[in-house]
Structure 1
């Protein structure tokens, strides 16, 4: 029998004392005891001050410079000839957009078709109308009667059923709408095609597996999602078309810019008349931008909080 003794117990080790700095900013300090130092951005304030000074100088010159002739601007801003020109500009924009995007949707789905022939035709159209300057296209349509004195309808390369003269078929306004719409269709086709391609193919496969018809897939699945990608680019194209209607002034159509040129050609007040056109373009472009915002917000439901 042997006797054993318990092992000796080590004395407790005390933790080392915190340094004075740690005691002052200890972890137990409450939020009210902490000193919060905001981040300072001195150069940001310098940039803000410089921009504000430049903006104030610009506005001061805009208001006080007599060369702007604001009295002449106020006289012509709501003149009947200017308002009529604004209406013609809006008509050109509306018809060019409506016809252009309707044709562009057809071209976009032709490019997405499984038929190689349809894809080639759509690509050829887009290539041609994006390559030829718009002013050249407008002049071609304006001189259609010179190129084709009459049009016939009947069996291709065979008997003609009836024909009519083209002299009065395409006037200046019709040629402008036709040129703008056909030109716009080439760009609209690529915008729509890009939006459709942005929709995941897995959703269409799932819809096909559920037996949903093709047209319903397009209407209820593809287009609502594609519109989120289509709308910003489409709005840019519409605004560009709205401002680009000034190019039809080469055809002596009384749109806004042409009418302003006519007026300042008579009275010599170039700057205030140009400001009339500028302010109208700004106001109408702003209205289109506001409309774009609400349409985008509508199609963003369920995707953006």
Structure 2
């Protein structure tokens, strides 16, 4: 398996505060990887070190086989910084074209790439607009577009959907899933639901070190049902009649967890959906396995 990122003993201080402390980390090519942690845990600092924006005080950092910040990574590593800024008085397409040229693309290839990434983030119609004319969400989508220039092998995204409306946040998630066949994404976010939908592995950063790694593998025999209304009481006796049901747990006012005998009833999820339809009960989501929140914060309790 290809190693994209290799950190050993990574340490970074700001004044007397150690933000990263002897951090060891390897990231392999594959499904998107989530980076989670409390504010101040070191997520943005780690991504900044990997991009070469800041230098570590100690340790070894290699990205795609090169030292972080190496010119050899141009076009191979894409990044969305937390507070990405553009020249407010230049057009979107002009700025992306210039950034593509800095990666070494020809003029024709730069124009082609600019059109491609603007389409990915639904900004084609604003290609000639100046950045100062854009809303906050549009500026965020522009920043994501620049991270995708050149079809990089590794893309680091710091809070990619913060400030996006629900429609464009979903469109970005769909885009990431589509591009993941050829690119590995590392996504820092506080949105656990979003990360749960996207990521195969979750890294939890705490006090400057990777404290926990969770592989997102669906657990056979466990379903989570998210309802639209709190009045689920009439549903409970009907659930108990479903073949294969072992138990159910009321997780919250809108969420139930159902455990069933997957070996005996392989289509339990289908039967559950048929029941909901017959009873005209609306639901928001049906998913397998324990939630990411439960895996991260209840495993040690």
Same fold (TM > 0.5): no
Higher strand share: 2
Q: How does the TM-score come out when normalised to structure 1?
A: 0.22
- Higher share in helix: 1
Q: TM-score when scaled to structure 2?
A: 0.22
